[in-house]
Structure 1
Amino acid sequence: MSQVDYQLLKPKGAIVINTVNNLVSEGSVLVKNHHLLVDFSETTEIDSSALAMILQWRRDAEAANKELSFVHVPENLNILAELYGVAFLFK
């Protein structure tokens, strides 16, 4: 079995409508070139714009044939994902 090496992205602070654009760009660049592990352990606030960000990263990862994984997903992000029918993103 081969082991996959991941690039770590650890967003800090709020991921909300006013802050998400730079993070979308940063994650897109990373996931196009690396398998990406996103660690939400230092995220303080999240709104539905975070789901849009994650969906963009998923499209970028699939186009680049890269893996995208998440750890320490905040409960409110899980709830939003359930609400919008995209809970599969975190499974």
Structure 2
Amino acid sequence: MRVQVRYFASVREIVGLAQETHDLPETVHTVGQARDWLRSQGGRYALALSADKPLRMACNQLMCSADTALQPGCEIAFFPPVTGG
């Protein structure tokens, strides 16, 4: 399933990208599983999306939980709990 992934604030700084498209494996069905899969890619993803980091998540611009189901073409966003300025 192809999804758009957006990164904000410190997550964006670590990943080095504001957004990208990923073709997720067939075993990935939720936002939390997408985070886990991205983290499994290692390097900057493992650091930015670490299980130890409290991150907020959104799917199609709505705040969501890790068990929110994904649909082809959806947009997932990851960001720290406090952003803005």
Q: Would you call these one fold, judging by a TM-score over 0.5? A: no
Greater Rg by CA: 1
Q: Higher helix proportion, which one?
A: 1
Q: Which has the higher contact order (CA 8 A, sep 6+)?
A: 2
